[in-house]
Amino acid sequence: MPALLRQLAGLGGCTHPIRLDGHRTEYTVDTRTGEIGNVLHHLVSSSLPAGHLLVRCNNRRITRCAACAEVYRRDTFHLITSGLRGGKGVPERVAAHPRVFATFTPPGFGPVHNRPTGPAGSVRRCRCGALHDQDDPALGTPLDPDTYDYEAAVLWNAHAGPLWRRFSIYLRREVAKRAGLTQRAFREYARVSFAKVAEYQKRGAVHFHAVIRLDGPEGGDTPPPAWATAELLTDAIRAAATAARVDGPVVDGRAHTFAFGRQLDVRTIRSADFDGGQELTERAVAAYIAKYATKGAETATGALDRPLRFLAELAQLDISDHARRLIRTAWTLGARKDLEHLRLRAWAHMLGFRGHFSTKSRRYSTTLGALRDARAEWRRAQALEAAETDPDTTLVLAHWVYAGTGLTDAEAWLAETLEPAPGTEGEPTHG
Ligand SMILES: [Zn+2]
Ligand SMILES: [Zn+2]
């Protein structure tokens, strides 16, 4: 029992670990002759308390694995933060580069129940005449489901990713134009870096939040040119977002074209963390992005966080009629041969969106993989220190095969008795 508890504790709270069958052997190596010597350490999965080697699932979604989603959220926070104020291999001077936080909204698909805010944060009546409560499930659902444009809403989600790519190309062009440079010359002077996250609005449409930064030619390592200001960047973002368009399919004689909605919010990010909440701070931005990086369509649909296999499953799900209708529309459109490339059935549970939740340009900052590697490296170093072995004089041979996922009922029960894994400090838990 204590051995099993120790193995479960190593999962740091992961509730859907990957189970592996296999073995791992560490040998000493003679550094002069290169010959393999004694076995230092031998591990066989069948001799482990759980009968398998258990590895964290690393799922990003809170609804799937709270512990792994929390690790992902923290990593995302650090990734965004390092791109804003340096650290993790990014120089601190990036804090002086022009940076903005921008929100790109979808167009309208029909009136929905909302909570319009008036002056000084007062709440006004919805078009339906009601004064909706903040967590009224009606919020975001159509006033008239029969006239709501479900087809365009689902196709919007399917084209939001390509539209963002189009926007980012236009943005470089618009910045270059304002600097009086050709696009080719632009690359020798400056670079546009970004990190973005996709989020579902209550009505089930994807929108994007992005940190956009102007750097010198080598990215964050080089200072931006003197003309690069947050004002120029903001102006260029507005122009690029207005111009960006992606042609969608023609469905039953109706040609779809996708563009961002008119509501575009662009705000300059300031360095100060302590300005009484007047300015948009680095910390607030990073916390906000990290928070949404762990959420999927379930924030809009309620519960559905995995692909549907049959449409009949939809009837059993405890989701809103609006979510059901979006999913059904994606499923129906997914049957069309000409829309095959959108894979709408595989992504029906995501309401048609098949993009990545958080993406960044190469030079924005470090990567999630690098953060994960650093963590694994640290654990390995700790283990070696404990065993007093030298990585240069040991050889590791390992072979693992997938044996399943999850914990047995008994393991899950035991895991619940464990204290939550100690967290890392120095970051807000919500934004
Ligand atoms: Zn997990
Ligand atoms: Zn209403």
Q: With 60 as the cut, is the pLDDT of residue 427 above it?
A: no
Distance 117 CA to ligand 2 centre (A): 13
- What is the whole-number distance in angstroms between the Cα of residue 14 and the centre of ligand 1? 4
What was the pLDDT predicted at 229?
93
Query: How would residue 251 be classed by pLDDT, with cut points 50, 70 and 90?
Result: very high
- Asked whether 20 and 410 are in contact (CB, 8 A), the reply is no
Beta bridge partners of residue 103, listed in sequence order: 209, 265
Least confident among 1-15, 175-189, 391-405: 391-405
- pLDDT, residue 388, reads 59
Ligand 1 center from residue 399 Cα (angstroms): 22
Average pLDDT of every residue of the chain: 84
Q: How confident is the model at residue 6 (pLDDT cuts 50, 70, 90)?
A: confident
Whether the Cβ atoms of residue 264 and residue 97 lie closer than 8 Å to each other = no
To which residue do tokens 């995302």 refer?
76
Report the separation in Å between the CA atom of 318 and the middle of ligand 2, taken as the mean of its atom positions: 22
CB 366 within 8 A of CB 90: yes
Residue 242 binned pLDDT confidence (cut-offs 50, 70, 90): very high
Residues paired with residue 101 on neighbouring β-strands, in sequence order: 211, 267
Quick one: DSSP state of residue 141? S
Distance, CA of 106 to CA of 423 (rounded, Å):
36
- Between CA 179 and CA 232 the distance in angstroms is 9
Residue 422 pLDDT > 60: no
Winning range, highest mean pLDDT, from 222-231, 295-304, 362-371, 388-397: 222-231
Could you tell me the distance, in angstroms and rounded to a whole number, from the CA of residue 115 to the centre of ligand 2?
A: 8
Q: Residue 295 and residue 305: Cα distance in Å, rounded?
A: 10
What is the CA(11)–ligand 1 centre distance, in A? 8
Q: Which amino acid, 117?
A: T
- Measured in Å, residue 144 CA sits from the centre of ligand 2 at 10
Give 42's pLDDT tier (boundaries 50, 70, 90): confident
Cα distance between residue 94 and residue 85, in whole Å:
6
Q: Are 393 and 26 in contact (CB under 8 A)?
A: no
Token reading at 30 = 């003679």
CA distance 78 to 59: 18
Q: Which residue, chain included where needed, has tokens 């529309």?
A: 329
The alpha carbon of 114 and the centre of ligand 2 are apart by a number of angstroms equal to 6
- DSSP H helices in 21-149: 66-85
Q: Which ligand is nearest to the CA of 116?
A: 2
**What's the 194 CA to ligand 2 centre distance in angstroms?**
36
Which helix H or strand E contains 53, and what residues bound it? Answer: strand 53-55
Report how far residue 431's alpha carbon sits from residue 135's, in angstroms, rounded to the nearest whole number: 18
On the CB side of 322, CA atoms within 13 Å amount to 29
For the CA of 16, the nearest ligand: 1
Going from the Cα of 414 to the center of ligand 1, the distance in angstroms, rounded, reads: 16
**What share of the chain in percent tops pLDDT 90?**
34
Which pLDDT score is estimated for 230?
Answer: 92
Give the model confidence (pLDDT) of 358-371 as tens digits. Answer: 777 777 777 777 77
CA 58 / ligand 1 centre spacing (Å)? 5
Q: Does the structure show a pLDDT above 70 at 381?
A: no
Give the tokens for residue 182. Answer: 């050709």
